[in-house]
């Protein structure tokens, strides 16, 4: 059995559905057949929502027949990272300890907003256990595999969402990012990703990992789809933000750009550095700003303290699970470590976060956007115990998020852009803005999309 992937991007699919030239129901059936035919190879999708998806798609088709506009993403199939609630299904979040929980009564806010824009949820994606992981390897449900080379990792924890788009199942997927969980998989899978400011998008119905760091966002196959995805996630409640982003993309204003070096360059291999150079070449004048690795190490340690402390208090009940095998030793260790972290140590880490945020704010007096590699290297093989990066051996599980974690700790918005050569495995860059200036990141992303020959129409 075989099935053709959806070759067209979200905006093109929506135009066809709104014009009555394509059926939302047919699109859903195509996705379901494709997943059934090919996902044993990639292990991206954890469950499908066949009854729900077909029902939603038929409502979209009925609206078109009645002359009503179903929305800007009319009939576009999308996938949901499995830590987001979808009404009628259990929010497993990569944890077998959650399989017996009741189904969700309502959709997570962001799922509901995508549906309000006319998009159709067709399934949930595999992820690291409770989002606690960076490789996409789940000890209970198996590893998500890179579509470009199934012997390699996708990164995590939004592994399945990224892999599903890279495999061609859907053009859009929902993800979450705490220390790099959108940006690393986007880079390794060759996708566009958006991680907004902390608090910009509603987190209701998304299972927390580390609440003060958690951010919702998503993935798109193309730059032209990233803006409508972000607008749909904003919903009608934040039309001003959507207008700012559109205006910035259309303006084409010269941006003040700097590349982060120091530790960001020291722990990026030759291909990751080429991706940064390729991105920087899209701008007229680019400075360099070094950040010492010793400082970055302190920031990562503080971020880990905050992550462990908050993870432990959100999920401490797992230590008393009836079946201990439902909780991996790695997760159990993280929870135990977090519970043993004192309130004073947590407060100190939060103080370090404030200082780090202030340090990063100083850059934005001089620059609109900072560029940094998203990962130290392209996707490792599952057999790779370590990767040599400029003479230092790095373990994938401990290093895939080392360049994203400091950016998360500073609570900065990011667009993740693919910047690899056609003959290379995918790698990408972080386009980092000041708090409240994701519009500048989108404007920078447009320049990269132009260089890549992509459609950049923001109409």
Q: Are 75 and 22 in contact (CB under 8 A)?
A: yes
* 8 A C-beta contact, residue 18 and residue 76: no
φ, ψ of residue 35 to 5 degrees: the values are -60, -45
What's the mean pLDDT when you consider all of the chain?
96
Convert the pLDDT of each residue in 12-54 to its tens digit. 999 999 999 999 999 999 999 999 999 999 999 999 999 999 9
Q: How far apart are CA 204 and CA 216, in angstroms?
A: 10
Dihedrals φ, ψ of 78, to 5°? -140, 160
Catalytic residues: 81, 157, 181
- Reported as a single tens digit per residue, the pLDDT across 277-300 is 999 999 999 999 999 999 999 999
Distance of alpha carbon 446 from alpha carbon 427, whole angstroms: 17
pLDDT at 3: 58
The region that residue 456 occupies, defined by phi over 0 for left and psi between -120 and 50 for alpha, beta otherwise, is alpha
Lowest-pLDDT range, 266-270, 319-323, 365-369, 380-384? 319-323
Which tokens is 342 given? 């004192």
**Strands 172-177 and 137-138, sheet pairing:** unpaired
Alpha carbons within 13 angstroms on the beta-carbon side of residue 276 total 29
For the full predicted model, state whether its pTM sits above 0.85. Answer: yes
Q: What is the pLDDT of residue 209?
A: 97
As a whole number, mean pLDDT of residues 239-243 equals 94
Residues 296, 279: Cα–Cα separation, whole Å: 23
Instruction: Please give the backbone phi and psi of residue 203, each rounded to the nearest 5 degrees, phi first.
Output: -105, 5
CB 220 within 8 A of CB 226: yes
Query: pLDDT above 90 covers what percent of the chain?
Result: 96
Question: Do 419 and 276 meet the contact criterion of CB atoms below 8 Å apart?
Answer: yes
Tens of pLDDT, residues 130-161: 999 999 999 999 999 999 999 999 999 999 99
- Please determine, for residue 382, whether its predicted confidence score (pLDDT) is greater than 60: yes
Burial class (CB in 10 A: 0-12, 13-18, 19+), 382: middle
Side-chain half-sphere of 350: how many Cα atoms within 13 Å?
Answer: 13
CATH topology of domain 10-294+355-451: Amidase signature (AS) enzymes (3.90.1300)
Report the share of the chain in percent with pLDDT over 70: 98
Q: Please provide residue 398's backbone torsions phi and psi, each rounded to the nearest 5 degrees.
A: -100, -5
Tell me what pLDDT residue 237 has.
82
Q: How far apart are CA 97 and CA 25, in angstroms?
A: 34
Please give the span between the terminal C-alpha atoms of the chain, in angstroms, as a whole number: 39
Strands 77-81 and 172-177: parallel
Distances (CA, A) of 449 to 134, 136, 225, 344, 443: 27, 27, 12, 46, 10
Residue found by looking up tokens 């904003």 in the block? 234
d(Cα 27, Cα 322) in Å, to the nearest integer?
42
Q: What is the pLDDT of residues 49-85, one digit of tens each?
A: 999 999 999 999 999 999 999 999 999 999 999 999 9
Residue 2 has pLDDT above 60, yes or no: no
CATH 3.90.1300.10 positions along the chain are 10-294+355-451
By mean pLDDT, which of 3-7, 95-99, 447-451 is the weakest? 3-7
pLDDT beyond 70 at 434: yes
Backbone angles phi, psi at 42, to 5 degrees: -110, -25
Least confident of 204-213, 248-257, 376-385: 248-257
Average pLDDT over residues 298-318: 98
Position 1 scores a pLDDT of 35
């Amino acid at each position: 059995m075989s099935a053709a992937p959806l070759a067209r991007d979200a905006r093109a699919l929506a135009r066809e559905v709104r014009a009555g030239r394509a059926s939302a129901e047919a699109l859903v059936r195509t996705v379901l057949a494709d997943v059934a035919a090919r996902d044993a190879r990639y292990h991206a999708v954890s469950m499908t929502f066949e009854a729900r998806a077909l029902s939603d798609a038929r409502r979209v088709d009925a609206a078109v027949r009645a002359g009503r506009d179903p929305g800007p993403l009319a009939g576009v199939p999308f996938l949901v990272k499995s830590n987001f609630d979808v009404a009628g299904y259990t929010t497993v979040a990569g944890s077998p300890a959650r399989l017996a929980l009741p189904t969700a009564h309502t959709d997570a806010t962001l799922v509901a907003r995508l549906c309000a824009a006319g998009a159709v949820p067709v399934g949930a994606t595999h992820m690291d256990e409770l989002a606690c992981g960076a490789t996409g390897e789940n000890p209970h449900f198996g590893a998500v595999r890179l579509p470009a080379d199934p012997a390699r990792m996708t990164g995590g924890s939004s592994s399945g969402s990224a892999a599903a788009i890279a495999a061609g199942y859907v053009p859009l997927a929902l993800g979450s990012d705490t220390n790099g969980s959108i940006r690393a998989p986007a880079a390794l899978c060759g996708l566009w990703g958006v991680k907004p400011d902390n608090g910009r998008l509603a987190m209701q119905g998304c299972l927390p990992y580390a609440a003060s760091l958690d951010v919702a966002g998503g993935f798109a196959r193309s730059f032209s789809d990233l803006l409508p995805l972000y607008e749909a996630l904003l919903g009608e409640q934040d039309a001003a933000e959507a207008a700012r982003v559109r205006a910035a993309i259309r303006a084409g204003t010269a941006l003040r750009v700097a590349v982060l070096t120091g530790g960001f360059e020291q722990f990026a291999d030759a291909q990751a550095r080429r991706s940064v150079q390729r991105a920087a070449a899209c701008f007229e004048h680019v400075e360099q700003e070094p950040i010492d690795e010793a400082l970055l190490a302190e920031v990562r340690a503080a971020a880990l303290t905050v992550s462990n402390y908050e993870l432990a208090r959100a999920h401490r009940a797992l230590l008393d699970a009836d079946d201990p095998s439902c909780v991996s030793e790695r997760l159990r260790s993280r929870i135990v470590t977090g519970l043993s972290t004192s309130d004073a140590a947590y407060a100190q880490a939060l103080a370090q976060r404030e200082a780090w945020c202030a340090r990063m704010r100083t850059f934005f007096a001089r620059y609109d956007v900072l560029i940094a590699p998203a990962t130290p290297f392209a996707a490792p093989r599952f057999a790779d115990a370590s990767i040599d990066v400029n003479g230092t051996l790095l373990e994938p599980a401990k290093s895939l998020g080392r360049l994203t974690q400091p950016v998360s700790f500073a609570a900065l918005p990011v667009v993740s852009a693919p910047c690899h050569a056609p003959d290379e495995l995918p790698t990408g860059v972080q386009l980092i803005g000041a708090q409240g200036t994701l519009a500048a990141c989108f404007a920078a992303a447009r320049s990269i999309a132009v260089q890549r020959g992509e459609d950049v129409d923001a109409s």
